[in-house]
Amino acid sequence: AKFETVVVQPSEHQQAMVVELSERAAAVHSGVVDPSVDNMLKITNEARLLATDPRLIDPLAEHTADSKVSMCAENVYREFEKSADIKGTQIVFCDIGTPKAEGVYNVYDGLKADLILKGIPEDAICFIHDAKTDAQREELFTLMRSGEKRVIIGSTSKLGVGTNIQNRIVALHNLDCPYRPSDIEQRLGRGLRQGNMNDEVAVYTYVTQNTFDAYMWVRLEVA
């Protein structure tokens, strides 16, 4: 594996929301807020969403060219072009911001839109969540193994054990930070395994500076 950490600078909107979350956390710790109104579980979840993409909290937040999703799209496109001769494939892992009801922003459709704008054909991109049955999953995996589908976006749980699509994997992308060290092992295991025609696999990890991301990754390293 060739590991690369992509450090993303937070937008002004994200910085302002980090301050707001910190103030809410201080209020919770001081006991001046009823737990039914606000609590650390709620704040932690929002902080995790914010670090991934502020549009998950505020749909009107600006989509910047140097956001985590934008940076991921840039790297996916570069690896897509670089491995065109072998139909190299890639996996983007994201456990939050999964496809929701129509009209509600989600990371998967946001990333897909960016990839299409860069020039990756829509039919070369797929979501593991589109496969509702075992037969549909296997069909999707077959398309990935042949290189007909070249980018798959999914969560750790849905792309974990039983996912054998390593044949052409050239890059893995950690768009968010999972909760458990074993989740990282599962992610890496999708490409770093016997049966991959490539000697080296790029592993990109995206971290938004001065947000909950840093705490999550340090927590995984200590665990």
Model confidence at 26: pLDDT above 70: yes
User: What global pTM score does this model have?
Assistant: 0.93
Average pLDDT in the 101-117 region?
Answer: 90
pLDDT band at 124 (very low <50, low <70, confident <90, very high): very high
- In whole angstroms, give the CA distance from residue 204 to residue 171: 8
- 64-86: per-residue pLDDT in tens? 888 999 999 999 999 999 999 99
pLDDT band at 220 (very low <50, low <70, confident <90, very high): confident
pLDDT at residue 99, rounded to an integer: 85
Q: Is 98 helix (H, G, I), strand (E, B) or coil?
A: coil
pLDDT band at 223 (very low <50, low <70, confident <90, very high): low
Model confidence at 7: pLDDT above 70: yes
pLDDT at residue 147, rounded to an integer: 97
pLDDT band at 184 (very low <50, low <70, confident <90, very high): very high
pLDDT at residue 102, rounded to an integer: 73
Average pLDDT in the 117-145 region?
Answer: 95
- 43-54: per-residue pLDDT in tens? 999 999 999 999
- In whole angstroms, give the CA distance from residue 70 to residue 85: 25
First to last CA, the chain: 22
- In whole angstroms, give the CA distance from residue 41 to residue 84: 44
pLDDT at residue 82, rounded to an integer: 97
Model confidence at 117: pLDDT above 70: yes
- In whole angstroms, give the CA distance from residue 155 to residue 173: 11
Model confidence at 222: pLDDT above 70: no
Q: Do 195 and 167 touch, CB atoms closer than 8 A?
A: yes
pLDDT at residue 103, rounded to an integer: 74
- In whole angstroms, give the CA distance from residue 103 to residue 140: 25
Q: Which of 7-21, 23-37, 75-89, 178-192 has the highest mean pLDDT?
A: 75-89
Closest CA to 93 of 215, 195, 189, 221: 189
